[in-house]
Amino acid sequence: MPQDDYTFGDSELAERRLELLGTTFQDTTRDFIRAQGPAEPALAVDLGSGPGHTTVLLRDTLRPKLTLAIDFSEAYVAATAKRVEGDPTVEVIEADALDLPERVADAEVIFVRMLNPPQRDPLGAVDLWLQRLAPGGVMLIEEVESIETEEPALARYLVLQREMLDVNANRLEIGPRLDAELGSHPALRSSEVVRFQPGAGIAARMFGMNFGTWRDRRAVVEAHETAELDAIAKGLGRVATAPEDSAPIFWSMRQIVLARG
């Protein structure tokens, strides 16, 4: 994504949403990193690090000698720097994922979670990142495969989010496309799906925070009546406060491992 189009924003609200997302997804992500990443690598890179939750998770799981956190948001770079303040083993860099500085080179592991590679050429982005690996290094990619729920409030929000992302040339569930297009890639080592069930209330809180960052965008407002948008916000609030009355929600995450020969 270009630097001026951070899809879900980098406001304080968006940061709090990523914090909640990070704690919700951390167990499956930690298991993935631990199983597929090298122990105590010389250099690990958290690509699209956001406010630094994944940076800390990567650092604490693999114990690299140096961890580079890369994000193009000035606000998130500052948040990450504050989170790891005083730790000489972590360096935070403001840069676009598709225009990385020379400093990002010969990494033993590059971690990418929910960065949503550019829809026009996701394989091109992956190949760019593979060039930044050391020989034998691995790239660990974790993206959304699917989100399923019969809870009307959550399902209604997801329909609108997919629509908004489509307008911005992005896709919520990019996992299947990555799996298909990387199927014959010579660097591919594995591509698996992990399914888990966060609480409906947690999902509603995340969705509500997301909704607050983009419901007033022109494309959304022009396509939907205010009453409809208000109803979605109200429904998410209801599920967030009374999750026991809601249908469950299931996330499937596509976990992909590539290696540089």
Q: Give Cα separations from 204 to 17, 103, 231 (angstroms).
A: 11, 39, 14
**pTM given for the model:** 0.91
Q: pLDDT digit string (tens) for 127-184?
A: 999 999 999 999 999 999 999 999 999 999 999 999 988 877 778 899 999 999 999 9
Q: Give Cα separations from 12 to 1, 9, 170 (angstroms).
A: 20, 9, 23
Q: pLDDT digit string (tens) for 88-138?
A: 999 999 999 999 999 999 999 999 998 865 556 888 999 999 999 999 999
Task: Give residue 1's pLDDT band: very low, low, confident or very high (50, 70, 90).
Answer: very low
Angle made by CA atoms 77, 80, 81, in degrees to the nearest 5: 85
| Amino acid identity for residue 120 in this structure | R
| Amino acid identity for residue 228 in this structure | E
Q: How far is the C-alpha of 212 from the C-alpha of 197, rounded, in Å?
A: 24
